Every structure is written in C-alpha cells, then in structure tokens.
Structure 1
Amino acid sequence: MKSVTVIAAVAGLGLGGLVGASTFFAWPLLDRTTVAAPPSHPVFSEVEWPYPSDEWGKGKAFRCVAADCGAEVNLYVRAKIGFCNCKTGVADDAELDRLSDFRLMGEKLSVLGPGHPINVAWMKGRSRAYAIADPYRARNSALAIAFNDRCDAIVATAVVAHDRPAAIEPGVIEFLNSKTVVHWAEITLGL
C-alpha cells in the first residue's frame, strides 16, 4: 500500500508541475490584445469632426481602420493660432502638455515616457505617448503631437485602440507630413 501512495504522490506532483509549467509558459499567449503590425503606409480617411466647437473651433478628423493600421486610429488635428511659445516653439514636454487637446483623449491619462522631437514639413515639434485609463472603455492609448510655425501651433491627437501607441506613431507622423494635412495647415495658418 505504501508504494501505491508514493507512486500516486509522485504522479500528482509531476502532473502539478506539468500544469504549472505549461501555465507559466502559456501565460504570455493568453493576452488576446495583440496588434497586427501596422502597414508601412497606413490609410487615413477624413471623417466628420465629432466634438462640439470650443475656443479653438473645429479641426480635421481622420480615421484609419484596423485593417489598414493594425488597430483603429482616430486622428484629430486643429490649429491653435497665437498660442505657441513664439521664441522656442514646442521645444519641451511642458509646452507640448500646455498645447495638447487632453479632453479629446479621455479623462484619465498617464504618461508612457518622455516626449521626443518630430518634424512635420518645415515645422518642428514634439510627440508624446499616453495610456488612457478609463474603466468604461477598452484599453486605449494616445499620442499628443504639436508642431509650430512661429507663434501658431498645429495640435494633433491620435487615439489608438490598443495600449502600444509607439507602434503607430511613424504612420501618424507620415500622414501629418502628407499633402492633405500640410496643405490644410498652410491655409489654416494663412501661409
């Protein structure tokens, strides 16, 4: 009887170890929010501006569907005339935060890291990633992007339907450098 108990105990421990090991190694595979790699040239389509008018007026809104961007991306772009630091432009994260349209991103934001310089046409600016922590929405993230021409800023907000905004940032910057956005910026800034 003793040998049967020992064999059962060893088999139980072995089976438990096997279950534990498979759980440990399979755990990363249980995250079902994997994002397809974004294409090298995402396709943004213009949509109607979804927000009520405020002191900055309406801007331009664009959407890139998951099939074209790896996840749905909603991009909102608008001008803030005379609101940028005329001497330094959008040179640091404090200026980017001051210019950003945080209301478009949601109420509960957390910074994912420091911002970094970007270029859009002849303008220089910054981009910074945020996580949106809203218990009533799916996991989203956002990019706050601002660039300027003298004292005038163009502010872009990209809301991404996953928690890794860095994956889509190159495509968003590429679209901001497109004829569609640059031409709109020239007209809006009176250039």
Structure 2
Amino acid sequence: MGPPRAAAWREIAWPFPRDGWPAGRAFRCGVADCGADVEVYLRPKLGFCNCDSGVADDDEVDRVSDVDMISPRFVPLKAGEVVHVAGMSGRIRAYDLDGKRAAIGIAASHRCDLMAVAAQGRGDAVKVQRATLKFLELQEIKEWMTVAMDGR
C-alpha cells in the first residue's frame, strides 16, 4: 500500500470542548487507505512557545500537543524524537491510551508560536505515526499550517 492520498482524508468536526485556544481542524482516514483508522487534530497556539528554544523536550510535547484532550490517561511508549513539519522544527512522541488505541503528539514551533498536533488510532502506534506524518506532508495541510502560524 502506498502513502495515503489527500482524498483518503476527510475533514470532521472539531471533537473537543472549548478551552483557552481556538478550535482547530480535525481529519479522519480509514484503515483501507491509511493502514489504521486514524484521526488527526491540529491547531496553532499563537504566542505559546519559547521564542529562544522552541520545543525543548518530551515534557513539553506531553503538555502542549493536545493528546490530553483525547484521553487524560496517556502513557509514553518511548522517548520522543526531533521532527520537521511544514518548515517547522519540533518533537514527536508516541503514546498508549488504553492498550487498544495509540496516540501521537507533535509540538512544532515557528518563532514564538506553536503548532499542536495530536492523532489517535486503533492498534499499532507505528502505523498511526506513519499515517499522521504522511498527512502532514500533504501540500494543502502544509499551506494551511503556514498560514495559520502567521495568524492570518
């Protein structure tokens, strides 16, 4: 199976209650196209990042990536890694939610702003992470993230 096409992803309503940040965008891709049922949630948090160091460590990913909105009980599977999305640097980390679902948290920064990305799916965290990163490579999504980070 090749990488999921843009058409494999469909936008869904933002599923989380209001908090201190504006609602973001949410997308879903099925197992036939993405290797797992995956939902991805992304939103900018303008003025929320350390202007000098960006996303510094895994604790910051745990705090800001919105994985806690999916489930308050998330357990890191291993140390996070450096990631680059839409021209931004940050960190990515995989989590177990309940033994049946995996989550991915990404926190990426641009100047003093943060792009929070959370994803969840049934089963293997590797498949969920792979599908999420392929989704974030879609031109439409990269363009949206770039514009959103500029506050327009």
Relative to the length of structure 1, the TM-score reads 0.72
For 1:58-85, what per-residue CA distance to the aligned partner results, in whole angstroms no more than 9, with x for missing partners? 1000001111112210100011111111
Aligned-residue identity in percent: 38
AA matched with 2:95: Y
Structure 1 segments of 4+ aligned residues over 2 angstroms from their partners: 102-105
Larger radius of gyration: 1
Moved more, 98-107 or 78-87: 98-107
Q: Secondary structure at the match of 2:42?
A: strand
Q: Does residue 142 in structure 1 map to residue 103 in structure 2?
A: yes
Q: Does residue 153 in structure 1 map to residue 114 in structure 2?
A: yes
Query: Going by fraction, where is helix more abundant, 1 or 2?
Result: 1
Post-superposition offset of 1:185: 1.5
The whole-number CA distance in structure 2 between the counterparts of 1:170 and 1:66 is 13
Give the paired residue count: 148
Identify which of structures 1 and 2 has the higher relative contact order when contacts are C-alpha pairs closer than 8 Å and 6+ apart: 2
Q: Does residue 130 in structure 1 map to residue 91 in structure 2?
A: no
Partner residue, 1:112: 77
For 1:92-143, what per-residue CA distance to the aligned partner results, in whole angstroms no more than 9, with x for missing partners? 212212212133221211110000011112110111000012xxxx711100
AA matched with 2:92: S
Q: Secondary structure at the match of 2:84?
A: strand
Post-superposition offset of 1:171: 2.7
1:29-48 matches, cutoff 5 A: 39-42=1-4, 43-48=8-13
Any unmatched runs of 5+ in structure 2? none
Relative to the length of structure 2, the TM-score reads 0.89
Any unmatched runs of 5+ in structure 1? 1-38
Query: Going by fraction, where is strand more abundant, 1 or 2?
Result: 2
Q: Does residue 172 in structure 1 map to residue 110 in structure 2?
A: no
